[in-house]
Amino acid sequence: MIAVSANAREITFSADELIVSKTDLRGNITYANRHFMRISNFAEIDLLGRPHSIIRHPDMPRGVYHAMWKTLKSKNEFFGFVKNLTSDGDYYWVFANVTPDFNKGNIEGFFSVRRQAPRAALAMITPLYQQMLEIEKRSRKESAPTESWNWLQDHIKSETGLSYEEFIIGLYEQNS
């Protein structure tokens, strides 16, 4: 597991760069494009065959990943803002679109395309993620992801009248 650097700095990338990866059904990386390798500071040999969670930042609520896997297993695409780790403990933010990869109607893996996350969107999503992390700290380990995810959905619905997906896509579109 990568440790967050004590002097962690944010790695940025341009709006025209797309970070692309593909995984098998278990989330092990089977493809990583050059942008992914450059931004995450991983060599291809250090990514291929490894769990995609190798870049998971501890500031990310487990509830977001719970929702992602639930969505993907139901054969739907998932959108979300994600803070990732680099190989040397720095970080970068993305707007992620993860989709099932189908072969004759069966899921055989997953594609992820990540774009630059707009600053204004991050200013709105970061406090929500902090609240989710607090809920996860107070909850039993096995129920924490579900509890924080349910809180996020309920909060978004009560504050905006939107579903999670409508809110997240709108947040990206309004600020990019």
How does pLDDT run across 139-166, given as a tens digit for each residue?
A: 999 999 999 999 999 999 999 999 999 9
pLDDT band at 6 (very low <50, low <70, confident <90, very high): confident
Please report the DSSP string for 124-147 in residue order. HHHHHHHHHHHHHHHS-TTTHHHH
Mean pLDDT of 165-175: 96
pLDDT at 2: 77
pLDDT at 143: 97
**What is the assigned CATH class of domain 19-175?**
alpha beta
The predicted model scores a pTM of 0.94
**CA dist., res. 7 & res. 120, Å (int):** 24
pLDDT band at 1 (very low <50, low <70, confident <90, very high): low
Mean pLDDT of 58-78: 97
- Look at residue 93 and give its three-state secondary structure: strand
Contacts of 141 (CB under 8 A, 6+ apart): none
Mean pLDDT of 108-117: 97
Q: Tokens in use for 95?
A: 């707007």
Annotated domain spans of the chain: 19-175
